[in-house]
Amino acid sequence: MLTLQVIGRELQGEVVLLTLAHADGIDLPTFSAGAHIDLHLAEDLVRPYSLCGDPKDRQHYQLGILKENQSQGGSLAAHALNVGDRIQVSDPRNLFALEASAGHSLLIGGGIGITPMLAMAAELHAAGRSFSLHYCARSRDGAAFISLLEQAPYADRVQLHFSDSQRLNLTAVLTDVPANTHVYTCGPVRLMDAVTEQAAALGYRPEQVHQECFSAEVETGGAAFEVFAATSGITVQVLENQTIVEALAQAGLKVCVSCKQGICGSCLTDVLEGEPDHRDSYLTDEEKADGDQILLCCSRAKSARLVIDL
Protein backbone atom coordinates (compact mmCIF):
# COMPACT_ATOMS: atom_id res chain seq x y z
CA MET A 1 0.00 0.00 0.00
CA LEU A 2 1.26 3.48 -0.89
CA THR A 3 0.22 6.85 0.48
CA LEU A 4 0.23 9.37 -2.34
CA GLN A 5 -0.71 12.99 -2.71
CA VAL A 6 -3.00 14.53 -5.29
CA ILE A 7 -0.78 17.02 -7.12
CA GLY A 8 -3.02 17.71 -10.10
CA ARG A 9 -6.75 17.87 -10.66
CA GLU A 10 -8.45 18.88 -13.88
CA LEU A 11 -12.05 18.50 -14.93
CA GLN A 12 -12.77 17.59 -18.55
CA GLY A 13 -16.50 17.28 -19.03
CA GLU A 14 -17.70 14.62 -16.60
CA VAL A 15 -14.21 13.19 -16.14
CA VAL A 16 -11.77 14.28 -13.45
CA LEU A 17 -8.10 13.82 -14.29
CA LEU A 18 -6.08 13.18 -11.16
CA THR A 19 -2.31 13.16 -10.93
CA LEU A 20 -0.87 11.38 -7.89
CA ALA A 21 2.71 11.47 -6.68
CA HIS A 22 4.72 10.58 -3.60
CA ALA A 23 4.97 13.58 -1.27
CA ASP A 24 8.76 13.11 -1.09
CA GLY A 25 9.11 12.85 -4.86
CA ILE A 26 10.44 9.31 -4.78
CA ASP A 27 9.86 6.99 -7.72
CA LEU A 28 6.63 5.02 -7.76
CA PRO A 29 6.40 1.27 -8.44
CA THR A 30 6.60 0.57 -12.16
CA PHE A 31 3.55 -0.41 -14.17
CA SER A 32 2.88 -1.62 -17.68
CA ALA A 33 0.14 -0.34 -19.96
CA GLY A 34 -3.31 -1.67 -19.05
CA ALA A 35 -2.56 -1.72 -15.30
CA HIS A 36 -4.83 -0.30 -12.62
CA ILE A 37 -4.49 0.75 -9.02
CA ASP A 38 -7.06 0.48 -6.24
CA LEU A 39 -7.94 3.78 -4.58
CA HIS A 40 -8.86 3.45 -0.90
CA LEU A 41 -11.42 6.24 -0.83
CA ALA A 42 -12.91 5.46 2.56
CA GLU A 43 -13.36 2.56 4.96
CA ASP A 44 -14.79 -0.26 2.81
CA LEU A 45 -14.77 1.96 -0.28
CA VAL A 46 -12.02 0.67 -2.53
CA ARG A 47 -12.24 1.10 -6.28
CA PRO A 48 -9.97 0.08 -9.16
CA TYR A 49 -9.07 2.70 -11.79
CA SER A 50 -6.90 2.29 -14.87
CA LEU A 51 -3.61 4.14 -15.03
CA CYS A 52 -3.77 6.39 -18.09
CA GLY A 53 -0.37 8.10 -17.93
CA ASP A 54 2.84 7.12 -19.66
CA PRO A 55 4.26 3.96 -18.03
CA LYS A 56 7.75 5.49 -18.43
CA ASP A 57 6.83 8.27 -15.98
CA ARG A 58 8.08 6.95 -12.61
CA GLN A 59 7.03 10.04 -10.67
CA HIS A 60 3.29 10.14 -11.34
CA TYR A 61 0.19 8.01 -11.56
CA GLN A 62 -2.55 9.54 -13.70
CA LEU A 63 -6.18 8.54 -13.56
CA GLY A 64 -9.29 9.60 -15.45
CA ILE A 65 -12.46 9.02 -13.43
CA LEU A 66 -15.98 9.48 -14.74
CA LYS A 67 -18.62 11.06 -12.52
CA GLU A 68 -21.24 8.33 -12.56
CA ASN A 69 -24.86 9.07 -11.79
CA GLN A 70 -25.38 5.50 -10.61
CA SER A 71 -22.25 5.69 -8.44
CA GLN A 72 -22.22 3.62 -5.27
CA GLY A 73 -19.88 6.21 -3.82
CA GLY A 74 -16.62 5.47 -5.57
CA SER A 75 -16.66 8.00 -8.38
CA LEU A 76 -18.22 10.71 -6.20
CA ALA A 77 -15.52 10.25 -3.56
CA ALA A 78 -12.84 10.35 -6.26
CA HIS A 79 -14.32 13.53 -7.71
CA ALA A 80 -14.24 15.11 -4.24
CA LEU A 81 -10.45 14.74 -4.05
CA ASN A 82 -8.52 17.98 -4.26
CA VAL A 83 -4.91 18.98 -4.80
CA GLY A 84 -3.02 18.36 -1.56
CA ASP A 85 -5.23 15.50 -0.39
CA ARG A 86 -3.52 12.27 0.55
CA ILE A 87 -4.85 8.91 -0.47
CA GLN A 88 -3.86 5.30 -0.04
CA VAL A 89 -3.47 3.27 -3.20
CA SER A 90 -2.45 -0.29 -3.99
CA ASP A 91 0.55 -1.21 -6.08
CA PRO A 92 -0.32 -1.38 -9.80
CA ARG A 93 -1.74 -4.66 -11.08
CA ASN A 94 -2.26 -5.55 -14.69
CA LEU A 95 -5.16 -7.71 -15.85
CA PHE A 96 -5.25 -6.14 -19.31
CA ALA A 97 -1.68 -6.33 -20.55
CA LEU A 98 -0.53 -5.93 -24.13
CA GLU A 99 0.43 -9.12 -25.94
CA ALA A 100 4.13 -8.90 -26.77
CA SER A 101 3.88 -11.15 -29.84
CA ALA A 102 1.13 -9.10 -31.56
CA GLY A 103 1.94 -7.93 -35.08
CA HIS A 104 -0.42 -5.01 -34.64
CA SER A 105 -2.50 -3.73 -31.71
CA LEU A 106 -5.96 -2.37 -32.39
CA LEU A 107 -7.17 -0.31 -29.44
CA ILE A 108 -10.92 0.45 -29.27
CA GLY A 109 -12.03 2.54 -26.31
CA GLY A 110 -15.52 3.86 -25.62
CA GLY A 111 -16.12 6.76 -23.23
CA ILE A 112 -14.14 6.40 -20.02
CA GLY A 113 -12.86 3.08 -21.43
CA ILE A 114 -10.26 5.13 -23.27
CA THR A 115 -8.14 5.44 -20.09
CA PRO A 116 -6.12 2.19 -20.31
CA MET A 117 -5.76 2.78 -24.06
CA LEU A 118 -3.86 6.01 -23.41
CA ALA A 119 -1.17 4.14 -21.50
CA MET A 120 -1.17 1.42 -24.16
CA ALA A 121 -0.73 3.95 -26.97
CA ALA A 122 2.16 5.62 -25.11
CA GLU A 123 3.86 2.26 -24.51
CA LEU A 124 3.36 1.00 -28.06
CA HIS A 125 4.54 4.29 -29.55
CA ALA A 126 7.67 4.35 -27.35
CA ALA A 127 8.47 0.78 -28.41
CA GLY A 128 7.99 1.63 -32.09
CA ARG A 129 5.28 -1.03 -32.40
CA SER A 130 2.41 -1.01 -34.88
CA PHE A 131 -0.94 0.10 -33.48
CA SER A 132 -4.05 2.16 -34.10
CA LEU A 133 -6.43 3.69 -31.61
CA HIS A 134 -10.17 4.29 -32.02
CA TYR A 135 -11.92 6.46 -29.46
CA CYS A 136 -15.72 6.46 -29.42
CA ALA A 137 -17.59 9.19 -27.55
CA ARG A 138 -21.08 10.61 -27.64
CA SER A 139 -19.97 13.91 -29.09
CA ARG A 140 -16.83 15.99 -29.34
CA ASP A 141 -18.23 18.49 -26.86
CA GLY A 142 -17.57 17.31 -23.35
CA ALA A 143 -15.49 14.28 -24.35
CA ALA A 144 -12.33 13.99 -22.24
CA PHE A 145 -8.83 13.49 -23.66
CA ILE A 146 -9.62 14.89 -27.14
CA SER A 147 -6.87 17.51 -27.09
CA LEU A 148 -4.40 15.05 -25.55
CA LEU A 149 -5.06 12.61 -28.39
CA GLU A 150 -4.92 15.28 -31.07
CA GLN A 151 -1.59 16.57 -29.78
CA ALA A 152 -0.04 13.20 -28.96
CA PRO A 153 3.13 12.16 -30.83
CA TYR A 154 1.07 9.25 -32.16
CA ALA A 155 -1.87 11.44 -33.26
CA ASP A 156 -1.66 10.04 -36.79
CA ARG A 157 -2.65 6.60 -35.40
CA VAL A 158 -5.79 7.95 -33.69
CA GLN A 159 -9.31 8.05 -35.09
CA LEU A 160 -12.13 9.74 -33.24
CA HIS A 161 -15.71 8.52 -33.57
CA PHE A 162 -18.79 10.32 -32.30
CA SER A 163 -22.36 9.10 -32.02
CA ASP A 164 -23.55 12.27 -33.75
CA SER A 165 -20.96 12.01 -36.56
CA GLN A 166 -18.11 9.77 -37.81
CA ARG A 167 -19.62 6.66 -36.18
CA LEU A 168 -17.32 3.68 -35.76
CA ASN A 169 -17.57 1.16 -38.59
CA LEU A 170 -16.52 -1.88 -36.61
CA THR A 171 -16.42 -4.28 -39.53
CA ALA A 172 -14.11 -2.01 -41.52
CA VAL A 173 -11.85 -1.35 -38.53
CA LEU A 174 -11.51 -5.06 -37.72
CA THR A 175 -11.06 -6.12 -41.33
CA ASP A 176 -8.39 -3.81 -42.65
CA VAL A 177 -5.56 -4.96 -40.33
CA PRO A 178 -2.11 -6.60 -40.53
CA ALA A 179 -1.55 -10.27 -39.69
CA ASN A 180 -1.67 -11.34 -36.04
CA THR A 181 -3.56 -8.27 -34.90
CA HIS A 182 -4.63 -8.25 -31.26
CA VAL A 183 -7.71 -6.24 -30.32
CA TYR A 184 -8.13 -4.46 -26.98
CA THR A 185 -11.47 -3.01 -26.02
CA CYS A 186 -12.73 -1.21 -22.96
CA GLY A 187 -15.88 0.80 -22.37
CA PRO A 188 -19.63 0.19 -22.39
CA VAL A 189 -20.61 -3.49 -22.37
CA ARG A 190 -22.51 -2.98 -25.64
CA LEU A 191 -19.34 -1.82 -27.38
CA MET A 192 -17.18 -4.60 -25.92
CA ASP A 193 -19.76 -7.25 -26.84
CA ALA A 194 -20.00 -5.86 -30.38
CA VAL A 195 -16.21 -5.90 -30.78
CA THR A 196 -15.96 -9.46 -29.44
CA GLU A 197 -18.81 -10.78 -31.59
CA GLN A 198 -17.65 -9.04 -34.75
CA ALA A 199 -14.07 -10.17 -34.24
CA ALA A 200 -15.22 -13.78 -33.77
CA ALA A 201 -17.36 -13.54 -36.91
CA LEU A 202 -14.34 -12.30 -38.86
CA GLY A 203 -12.20 -15.22 -37.73
CA TYR A 204 -10.17 -13.72 -34.89
CA ARG A 205 -9.10 -16.34 -32.36
CA PRO A 206 -10.42 -15.75 -28.81
CA GLU A 207 -6.89 -15.10 -27.53
CA GLN A 208 -6.55 -12.20 -30.00
CA VAL A 209 -9.37 -10.25 -28.33
CA HIS A 210 -8.84 -8.67 -24.93
CA GLN A 211 -11.33 -6.69 -22.90
CA GLU A 212 -11.24 -4.78 -19.65
CA CYS A 213 -14.34 -5.04 -17.47
CA PHE A 214 -15.12 -2.09 -15.25
CA SER A 215 -18.29 -3.69 -14.01
CA ALA A 216 -19.97 -7.02 -14.40
CA GLU A 217 -23.44 -8.21 -13.65
CA VAL A 218 -22.80 -11.13 -11.39
CA GLU A 219 -25.39 -13.38 -9.77
CA THR A 220 -24.11 -14.10 -6.30
CA GLY A 221 -27.08 -15.98 -4.83
CA GLY A 222 -27.63 -19.75 -4.63
CA ALA A 223 -28.00 -22.68 -2.26
CA ALA A 224 -26.53 -22.32 1.23
CA PHE A 225 -23.24 -24.03 2.07
CA GLU A 226 -20.57 -24.16 4.75
CA VAL A 227 -17.13 -22.55 4.64
CA PHE A 228 -14.27 -23.48 6.95
CA ALA A 229 -11.46 -20.89 7.04
CA ALA A 230 -8.66 -23.28 7.92
CA THR A 231 -5.99 -20.85 9.13
CA SER A 232 -8.40 -18.90 11.33
CA GLY A 233 -10.28 -21.97 12.48
CA ILE A 234 -13.63 -20.31 11.75
CA THR A 235 -16.66 -22.07 10.26
CA VAL A 236 -19.53 -20.08 8.74
CA GLN A 237 -22.79 -20.86 6.98
CA VAL A 238 -23.16 -18.89 3.75
CA LEU A 239 -26.87 -18.25 3.36
CA GLU A 240 -28.74 -18.19 0.05
CA ASN A 241 -28.49 -14.45 -0.48
CA GLN A 242 -25.15 -13.90 1.16
CA THR A 243 -21.62 -13.90 -0.20
CA ILE A 244 -18.74 -15.73 1.46
CA VAL A 245 -17.18 -12.32 2.24
CA GLU A 246 -20.36 -11.24 4.05
CA ALA A 247 -20.67 -14.48 5.98
CA LEU A 248 -17.03 -14.30 7.08
CA ALA A 249 -17.40 -10.64 8.07
CA GLN A 250 -20.29 -11.56 10.36
CA ALA A 251 -17.96 -14.00 12.08
CA GLY A 252 -15.34 -11.26 12.46
CA LEU A 253 -13.08 -12.37 9.62
CA LYS A 254 -12.41 -9.52 7.23
CA VAL A 255 -11.46 -10.19 3.62
CA CYS A 256 -9.73 -7.54 1.52
CA VAL A 257 -12.15 -6.60 -1.27
CA SER A 258 -12.15 -3.99 -3.98
CA CYS A 259 -14.61 -4.38 -6.87
CA LYS A 260 -16.93 -6.91 -5.14
CA GLN A 261 -17.88 -8.10 -8.62
CA GLY A 262 -15.35 -10.83 -9.34
CA ILE A 263 -13.27 -8.59 -11.59
CA CYS A 264 -10.21 -7.35 -9.73
CA GLY A 265 -8.85 -10.44 -7.96
CA SER A 266 -8.42 -8.73 -4.56
CA CYS A 267 -10.27 -11.50 -2.71
CA LEU A 268 -8.61 -14.45 -4.45
CA THR A 269 -8.09 -17.27 -1.97
CA ASP A 270 -6.82 -20.84 -2.19
CA VAL A 271 -9.34 -23.66 -1.90
CA LEU A 272 -8.11 -26.64 0.14
CA GLU A 273 -11.22 -28.84 -0.10
CA GLY A 274 -14.58 -28.78 -1.85
CA GLU A 275 -15.76 -27.64 -5.27
CA PRO A 276 -16.12 -23.91 -6.05
CA ASP A 277 -19.01 -22.55 -8.10
CA HIS A 278 -17.17 -19.80 -9.96
CA ARG A 279 -19.15 -16.63 -10.70
CA ASP A 280 -16.24 -14.27 -11.43
CA SER A 281 -14.72 -12.91 -14.61
CA TYR A 282 -11.19 -12.84 -13.18
CA LEU A 283 -10.00 -16.46 -13.35
CA THR A 284 -9.36 -18.08 -16.73
CA ASP A 285 -11.40 -21.10 -17.77
CA GLU A 286 -8.39 -23.33 -17.01
CA GLU A 287 -7.96 -21.82 -13.54
CA LYS A 288 -11.66 -22.30 -12.86
CA ALA A 289 -11.41 -25.92 -13.96
CA ASP A 290 -8.47 -26.47 -11.58
CA GLY A 291 -10.81 -25.57 -8.73
CA ASP A 292 -8.05 -24.65 -6.28
CA GLN A 293 -8.79 -20.91 -6.07
CA ILE A 294 -11.92 -18.86 -5.48
CA LEU A 295 -13.04 -15.23 -5.50
CA LEU A 296 -14.77 -14.86 -2.18
CA CYS A 297 -16.77 -11.73 -3.09
CA CYS A 298 -19.07 -13.47 -5.57
CA SER A 299 -18.38 -17.17 -6.05
CA ARG A 300 -20.11 -19.96 -4.16
CA ALA A 301 -19.73 -23.72 -3.66
CA LYS A 302 -21.12 -26.66 -5.60
CA SER A 303 -20.19 -28.91 -2.69
CA ALA A 304 -21.87 -28.67 0.71
CA ARG A 305 -18.59 -27.51 2.29
CA LEU A 306 -15.56 -25.52 1.22
CA VAL A 307 -12.29 -25.35 3.09
CA ILE A 308 -10.32 -22.22 2.24
CA ASP A 309 -6.83 -21.06 3.13
CA LEU A 310 -7.75 -18.06 5.25
Smallest separation (angstroms) from ligand FES to the CB of 214: 12
Among 185, 266, 269, 293, binds ligand FES (CB under 6 A): 266
Stretch that binds ligand FES, among 60-68, 73-81, 130-138, 264-272 (CB under 6 A): 264-272
Among 63, 173, 247, 297, binds ligand FES (CB under 6 A): 297
Among 79, 182, 260, 279, binds ligand FES (CB under 6 A): 260
CB 220 within 8 A of CB 279: yes
How many other CB atoms sit within 10 Å of the CB of residue 206? 10
Smallest separation (angstroms) from ligand FES to the CB of 275: 19
Contacts of 116 (CB under 8 A, 6+ apart): 33, 34, 35, 36, 50, 51, 52, 96, 109, 184, 186, 212
CA–CA gap between residue 164 and residue 284 (Å, rounded): 38
- Interaction between residue 257 and ligand FES (CB under 6 A): yes
Strand partners, 135: 109, 160
Closest-by-Cβ residue to ligand FES is: 297
Smallest separation (angstroms) from ligand FES to the CB of 298: 6
- Interaction between residue 133 and ligand FES (CB under 6 A): no
CA–CA gap between residue 188 and residue 288 (Å, rounded): 26
Neighbour-count burial of 293, counting CB atoms closer than 10 A to its CB (0-12 exposed, 13-18 middle, 19+ buried): buried
Among 37, 264, 271, 294, binds ligand FES (CB under 6 A): 264
Q: Which residues bind ligand FES (CB under 6 A)?
A: 257-260, 262-267, 280, 282, 295, 297
